[in-house]
Structure 1
Amino acid sequence: MDEMDLMKKLRDVPSPGPEAYDSARAALRTAMAEPAATVVRPKRWFSWPKASVAAVGAAAVAAAVVMVSTSGGSVPAAPPAAAPQAVEGPLVKLASAVHAAGTQPGDASLIINTKFGLNGKPDLYYTIYADDGRQFTGDSTKTLAEAVAKGDAQPPTPYDGKVMAAARLAATGDVDQARIAMITAANNALGVGLSPAEAEKAWADAQAETAEMFRKYGKPVPAPKPRPTGKELENLINNHLWSNTQHALFANAADAEVRAGVLKLYATIPDMTVGKTTVDGQAALTITVPPAVLGGGADVLTINAGNGLPIREEITSADSGKRYVVNYKASRVTLADVAAGKI
């Protein structure tokens, strides 16, 4: 079973509290810090608010199993604090244009996902990320409107706040510092920007946390492994950067500042490929992540060449070869209009 299969099996169980959600996400991110992991997918692929505490814990344990395969030698010096500043390539130029244009009126971002799984059937999903950090979800305009009208929101989470802040910093300030903040938004198990001793402790603490999760759910605890080194470590760092940046985009794409920062951070990933295409007659850019960053998998994001809004993502699993496609539509809305059914 790959990560996507696991996520689909967890869709219809009850909702966890915010504390359980954050704990599970942190454990999942820690567990993904290894070379064999496929794409660390943004949560917008999966309705986290519908997952039970037990199911979330099971997901964390299942993902943590990959931790045992981590290889490497002795703990090296801490990885570089940041990559070189992004050059004035197409993503940086587009980011400047997006930021200059500003955010459209409204008090929330609406993202409509249409996911096409292995059966080719569309699965529609609506997510609203309000400017105050609350999130509303639905599988139709009706259920979304009802959720907003009732105030049935997932409260702001620390993780969401961190990825949004990192994106905004990239748009308006120091991209190097923003890069560190985005990489470490869930945790800093890889020791980015730390001294060698601090990095070693961060890795040990993360493994201890994962071991505790195994014990909590009655699973055999894997033996500790040394921190990854060299190119392996660099690829993992960029994997975390891509994953967390994707999360910021898919949650809040209609916010121009967040979107501009995301584009600048994409541009700092070495060997990222940017191509030109058209989608439904509109000019678009394709952003292709280096396979090594994804553990051999493939991930191609297509964005509007004029405004940077996401159009489509195509993901291929490294382990199973399964391919998934998601189409995106993003816009600014007001919560009052959505509650009234004006979507």
Structure 2
Amino acid sequence: MDEMDLMKKLRDVPSPDAEAYDRARTALQAAMAEPGSTVVRPKRWMSWPKVSAAAVGAAAVAVAVVMATTSGTTPAGPSDAGRSEAAPQAVVESPLVKLASEVKAAGTLPGDASLIIGTKPAPDGTPYVYYTVYSDRGQIFKGDSPKTLASSVAKNDDQAMPFDAKVMAAARLAADGDVEKARTAMVTPAGNALGLGLSPAEADKAWADAQAEMAEEFRKIGKQVPAPRPRPTGKELENLINNHLWSNSTYALFVGAANTDVRAGVLKLLATIKEVTVAEAEAGGKRVLNLSASPDILGGDASTVLTLDFDNGLPISNEIFPAKDSKTPSKHAIVTYRSSRVTLADVAAGKI
């Protein structure tokens, strides 16, 4: 079974592209190995040939629940979110906010869709190139070559899921100015297991219900059910919130970067994470912005540097660095990106 056939087994799971699946599968593995943990492992690259199609489908279903409970896909209840460490950070001083305003003011280039060409290391170390098109109407088409991408568009093989619509809507909301509301929406596209906006009692119930759902999914795939654990609070809570604000925002960027509103909104949202540092640098003869995310918000096993074009905010690369003190450090990896505006008609005709 080739990679594209395998990924088609994941249609019923949010964000079923190759990169998002890697994140999700790693979260499931972490939950199985460390049932007492409440943090998510950073992104790794799975070895697809070692996993059967049936196992992938079952694991993916469980992942959707695990990410809502173990890795903090959802934020915390008001008793925790109201604390200073969980509150949205000021964004006015970040160069990302200035860049977002410039991106928004520049307007949208011609075309009706965003094309992202990503290159990452395959399990055997060779480059794996994948293509993603996000249309202005919210459709998502994928392929592992211009030919398979063209076929996907021509057949209207729209792979967008509700999760995609939610994160893109959150990005657009941030671009339009309501960053605080957009921040909540970007952290909660898969549910509210941690009870944001609920009373303490309601938040505890939401957490318990989510754990019960997760336990059922573990039983379905024949895995040991993790022991129940209390709802995260304090710094642990903040890290979970930031983890998924980063993960979901960058997911939106890596799918729809050439869409002006999506890109501008993601820039504003990333600016609210205090653990993310922004530095100007030079790469390949051009000015760039390096966004560094600490191990605190990546599960402790790695840090990452997201490199953006200084002038337009388009993603250039995302580099993972293993955490030296981790018992299970992630492998070093670099994903590179090329973004452009296209028309669906041109893509269907193989003109990209």
Q: If the length of structure 2 is used for normalisation, what is the TM-score?
A: 0.82
Superposed displacement of residue 59, structure 1: 4.1
Mapped to 2, the partners of 1:66 and 1:76 lie a distance apart of: 17
SS in 2 for 1:16: helix
Mapped to 2, the partners of 1:98 and 1:66 lie a distance apart of: 32
State the Cα deviation string for residues 187-230 of structure 1 (Å, max 9, x = none).
22222332211211121111011011012222222221111111
Aligned to 1:315: 320
1:203 maps onto 2:202 in alignment:
no
Q: Which amino acid aligns with 2:96?
A: L
Aligned to 1:129: 134
1:327 maps onto 2:336 in alignment:
yes
Return 128-137 or 166-175, whichever deviates more.
128-137
Show structure 2 runs of 5+ residues with no match: 32-36
Superposed displacement of residue 317, structure 1: 4.7
Work out whether residues 15 and 53 of structure 1, in 8 Å CA contact, stay in contact via their aligned partners in 2: no
Superposed displacement of residue 272, structure 1: 1.5
Aligned to 1:302: 307
Aligned to 2:42: 39
Aligned to 1:161: 165
Superposed displacement of residue 57, structure 1: 1.9
Return 127-136 or 314-323, whichever deviates more.
314-323
Aligned to 1:58: 59
1:280 maps onto 2:281 in alignment:
no
Sort the Cα spacing of 1:46 and 1:327 in 2 relative to 1 into closer, same or farther, 3 A: farther
Equivalent residue in structure 1 for 2:270, among 248, 254, 266: 266
Sort the Cα spacing of 1:149 and 1:187 in 2 relative to 1 into closer, same or farther, 3 A: same
Show structure 1 runs of 5+ residues with no match: 1-7
SS in 1 for 2:242: helix
Aligned to 1:114: 119
Work out whether residues 314 and 339 of structure 2, in 8 Å CA contact, stay in contact via their aligned partners in 1: yes
Q: Which amino acid aligns with 1:306?
A: D
Sort the Cα spacing of 1:231 and 1:58 in 2 relative to 1 into closer, same or farther, 3 A: same
Q: How many residues align?
A: 325
Aligned to 1:21: 13
1:336 maps onto 2:345 in alignment:
yes
Return 112-121 or 295-304, whichever deviates more.
112-121
State the Cα deviation string for residues 225-260 of structure 1 (Å, max 9, x = none).
111111011101100100110111011000111101
Work out whether residues 131 and 149 of structure 2, in 8 Å CA contact, stay in contact via their aligned partners in 1: yes
Work out whether residues 107 and 260 of structure 2, in 8 Å CA contact, stay in contact via their aligned partners in 1: yes
Mapped to 2, the partners of 1:183 and 1:255 lie a distance apart of: 20
Identity of aligned residues (%): 56
Q: Which amino acid aligns with 2:274?
A: P
SS in 2 for 1:77: helix
State the Cα deviation string for residues 19-72 of structure 1 (Å, max 9, x = none).
x2249999x59968954422258x9x999xxx95641322454794997899xx
Mapped to 1, the partners of 2:61 and 2:2 lie a distance apart of: 14
Sort the Cα spacing of 1:66 and 1:108 in 2 relative to 1 into closer, same or farther, 3 A: closer
State the Cα deviation string for residues 272-319 of structure 1 (Å, max 9, x = none).
111112222111000001221112211110000000000000013552
State the Cα deviation string for residues 61-106 of structure 1 (Å, max 9, x = none).
4794997899xxxx99232374133123211100100011112111
- The 5 Å alignment of 1:167-178 reads 167-178=171-182
SS in 1 for 2:79: coil
Mapped to 2, the partners of 1:196 and 1:307 lie a distance apart of: 42
SS in 2 for 1:15: helix
Work out whether residues 253 and 310 of structure 1, in 8 Å CA contact, stay in contact via their aligned partners in 2: yes
Superposed displacement of residue 143, structure 1: 1.6
Work out whether residues 301 and 314 of structure 1, in 8 Å CA contact, stay in contact via their aligned partners in 2: yes
Sort the Cα spacing of 1:68 and 1:311 in 2 relative to 1 into closer, same or farther, 3 A: closer
SS in 1 for 2:190: coil
Mapped to 1, the partners of 2:6 and 2:284 lie a distance apart of: 37
Q: If the length of structure 1 is used for normalisation, what is the TM-score?
A: 0.84
Superposed displacement of residue 116, structure 1: 2.7
Aligned to 1:5: none
Mapped to 2, the partners of 1:163 and 1:69 lie a distance apart of: 17
Sort the Cα spacing of 1:112 and 1:53 in 2 relative to 1 into closer, same or farther, 3 A: same
